[in-house]
């Protein structure tokens, strides 16, 4: 076994690798950028080396600096985690040339599977079923459009490099192909440095089912059964589970055999995943699945496989990389129970899953697993950490394991309802709604489920009078929350002034709320809310809601929903009157990738004005109303959350004149 390894990654996967290394007595070296200097993975590792500024291209993607850090610290091997350099064969060559071990497959294996088009041609030769489509080298738009017509609409344009839904567009009609292709290419170029694409038939009711494979350097390869990753939004996985619901013995046999055949065809060593698309329109049939791609690394969702097979895949990676044979044979790997993983992100589900930033002023996960279940929290952050615009906005992965699927879903919902996050918008309410969705519960799943049910899954009921009253009570209290979790105790002095009510102002979004708090003769507090709520609620000191107080805000938790109220500073001068009414602001930090209009242009409601790139994804910023452009941000501008992107001409007569009317 190695004595010291370097982890060429950050966040929760770096922390995950450190835990297994520590269990095996292996010392760890972390690398970090400016933004991660005080991060959890740096604190957990035995040593840490600074590798550059915050942008990934100047730090975590600098293979030369990472190799130099490994040599300088005496590390024997480098674990790449996932993302960043994990599937970069040139980096593997760098590592090996430096006399170090890459904890993963060979550069040749990564090259064989690294480009989706070449991988599919290879799989066709190996006898693995491949989805119908164009996987050729030629990239002229006329040819691609012609191939799309031959395949038949709808089609899917996919970046041939990378994954995670980046550079992927579904196209319903030939008239939309050119625009979708341009957008997919831009996004692929930004994310992977490669704007080439392939075009495939879009399967009507697709299930995304993948098989975990593992090989060693002695020619052995096994599978660890399948995972279902069909619950996706914007082609990115949200909740994964193992085993796949509704899996038949015939399909499992065919799919796992094809996966092992694929791994052996490239002499694969280490952890890998063979991803298949399955046509579920007629149930799960053994002749209706096709190879999509191979991920030549550990997957984000690997914990569900570990839970149902009782394995530690990171330990397997370390053992195979240091020259050992696979820890188990195929017959020794068995399935037990059902596991779910929910990806908790800093994002606003109601606003198209826009990534969010902010400081995690309050972060609390369940203390114990739900009854009858096991639970894991995989995270790379702590309370007080900031969600950076430079990296993926994942906060944690919540993983549960129970005896069967329904028990696992119940455990997942319970754990999500006990999770508390304040300081940044998070998707816990959306995840809980998905875990309770009738079709999801009934195993009627495909990759379009979230899109079809999006309105219901992202809708959050407005706060009740009781929740608002709780926020007003907490805002009235002085000082920090007592350790007894009794936020009302600091208000006990009110008892001397029964006839006097304290007024409190709150804001929930753009809505101003007025509350009057008084004390009853029995010691309970009474909160009266002005219209439109016009309700009165009494609060007993023994019934304290879950809440968090953080600078200028109160968040009240109701199940998996966190209702955040702003508490205006009564001494601060309001600047609302000075706020620009005719402007459009950036919904998140990002880069202005493309500007489609100019100063003086007349635009109509819904017209695309510019494209903002954030988290390597493109977001169209459209006109909220008709108007005339007074100012617009320039292409290449780096903007922060709230930056004014567009100003409109405010005077209607000026608008008419500018429009030529």
Residue ranges in 268-376 assigned as alpha helix (H)? 302-309, 313-321
**Contact call for residues 463 and 554 (beta carbons, < 8 A):** no
- Give CA separation, 381 vs 10, 13, 175, 367, 378, in Å: 10, 11, 45, 16, 9
3 state SS of 282: coil
**Options 65, 169, 207, 297, the catalytic residue:** 297
Q: How far apart are CA 96 and CA 102, in angstroms?
A: 7
**What SS3 class is residue 267?**
coil
Dihedral (CA of 283, 286, 287, 290) sign: positive
Q: Round to whole Å and give the CA distance between 60 and 33.
A: 7
CB of 77 closer than 8 Å to CB of 104 = no
DSSP E strands in 202-349: the ranges are: 206-215, 221-233, 236-242, 270-279, 289-295, 338-345, 347-348
Rama region for 209: left / alpha / beta (φ>0; ψ in -120 to 50; rest): beta
Which of 591, 563, 342 has its CA nearest to residue 462? 563
Nearest of 312, 224, 208, 306 to residue 260 by alpha carbon: 224
Contact 610, 621 (CB under 8 A): yes
Check if the beta carbon of residue 204 is closer than 8 Å to that of residue 279: yes
Show the tokens assigned to 240.
């994964």
**Is 65 part of the annotated catalytic residue set?**
no
- Residue 35 near residue 10 (C-beta atoms within 8 A): no
Note whether 120 and 130 are within 8 A (CB). yes
Q: How far apart are CA 419 and CA 400, in angstroms?
A: 13
Catalytically active residues are 297
């Amino acid at each position: 076994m190695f004595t010291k390894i370097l982890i060429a990654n950050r966040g929760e996967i770096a922390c995950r690798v450190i835990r297994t290394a520590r269990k095996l007595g292996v010392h760890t070296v972390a690398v970090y950028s400016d933004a991660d200097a005080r991060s959890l993975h740096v604190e957990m590792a035995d040593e840490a080396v600074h590798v550059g500024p915050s942008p990934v291209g100047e730090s975590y993607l600098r293979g030369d600096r990472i190799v130099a850090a490994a040599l300088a610290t005496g590390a024997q091997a480098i674990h790449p985690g996932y993302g960043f350099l994990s599937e970069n064969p040139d980096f593997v060559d760098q590592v090996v040339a430096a006399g170090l071990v890459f904890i993963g497959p060979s550069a040749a294996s990564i090259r064989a599977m690294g480009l989706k088009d070449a991988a599919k041609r290879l799989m066709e030769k190996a006898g693995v079923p491949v989805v119908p489509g164009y996987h050729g080298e030629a990239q002229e738009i006329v040819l691609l459009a012609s191939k799309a017509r031959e395949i038949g609409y709808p089609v899917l344009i996919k970046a041939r490099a990378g994954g995670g839904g980046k550079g992927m567009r579904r196209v319903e009609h030939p008239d939309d192909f050119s625009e979708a292709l341009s957008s997919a290419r831009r996004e692929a170029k930004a994310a992977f440095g490669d704007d080439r694409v392939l075009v495939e038939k879009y399967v009507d009711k697709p299930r995304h089912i993948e098989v975990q494979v593992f090989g060693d350097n002695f020619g052995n390869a096994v599978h660890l059964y399948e995972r279902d990753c069909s619950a996706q939004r914007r082609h990115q996985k949200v909740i994964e589970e193992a085993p796949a619901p509704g899996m038949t013995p015939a399909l499992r046999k065919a799919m796992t055999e094809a996966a092992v055949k694929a791994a052996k065809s490239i002499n694969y060593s280490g952890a890998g995943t063979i991803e298949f698309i399955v046509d579920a329109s007629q149930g799960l049939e053994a002749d209706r699945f096709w190879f999509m791609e191979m991920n030549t690394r550990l997957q984000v969702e690997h914990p569900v496989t570990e839970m149902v097979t009782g394995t530690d895949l990171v330990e397997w990676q370390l053992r195979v990389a240091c020259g050992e044979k696979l820890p188990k044979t195929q017959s020794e790997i068995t399935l037990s129970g059902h596991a779910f993983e929910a990806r908790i992100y800093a994002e606003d589900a109601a606003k198209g899953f826009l990534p969010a930033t902010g400081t995690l002023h309050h972060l609390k996960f369940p203390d114990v697993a739900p009854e009858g279940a096991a639970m894991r929290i995989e995270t790379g952050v702590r309370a007080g950490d900031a969600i950076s615009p430079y990296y993926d906005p994942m906060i944690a992965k919540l993983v549960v394991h129970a005896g069967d699927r329904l028990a696992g879903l119940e455990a997942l919902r319970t754990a999500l309802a006990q999770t508390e996050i304040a300081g940044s918008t998070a998707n816990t309410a959306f995840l809980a709604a998905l875990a309770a969705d009738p079709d999801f519960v009934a195993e009627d799943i495909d990759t379009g489920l979230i899109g079809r049910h999006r309105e219901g899954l992202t809708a959050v009921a407005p706060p009740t009078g009781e929740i608002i009253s709780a926020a007003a009570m907490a805002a009235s209290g002085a000082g920090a929350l007592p350790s007894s979790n009794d936020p009302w105790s600091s208000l006990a002095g009110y008892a001397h002034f029964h006839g006097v009510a304290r007024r409190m102002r709150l804001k929930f979004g753009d809505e101003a709320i007025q509350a009057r708090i008084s004390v009853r003769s029995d010691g309970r507090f009474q909160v009266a809310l002005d219209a439109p709520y016009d309700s009165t609620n009494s609060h007993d000191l023994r019934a304290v809601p879950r809440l968090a107080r953080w600078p200028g805000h109160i968040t009240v938790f109701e199940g998996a929903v966190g209702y955040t109220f702003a508490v205006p500073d009564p001494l601060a001068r309001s600047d609302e009157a000075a706020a620009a009414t005719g402007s459009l602001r950036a919904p998140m930090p990002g880069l202005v990738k493309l500007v489609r209009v100019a100063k003086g242009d007349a635009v109509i409601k819904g017209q695309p004005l510019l494209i903002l790139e954030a988290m390597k994804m493109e977001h169209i910023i459209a006109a909220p109303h008709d108007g005339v452009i007074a100012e617009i941000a320039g292409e290449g501008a780096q903007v922060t959350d709230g930056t004014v992107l567009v100003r409109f001409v405010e005077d209607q007569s000026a608008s008419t004149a500018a429009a030529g009317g």
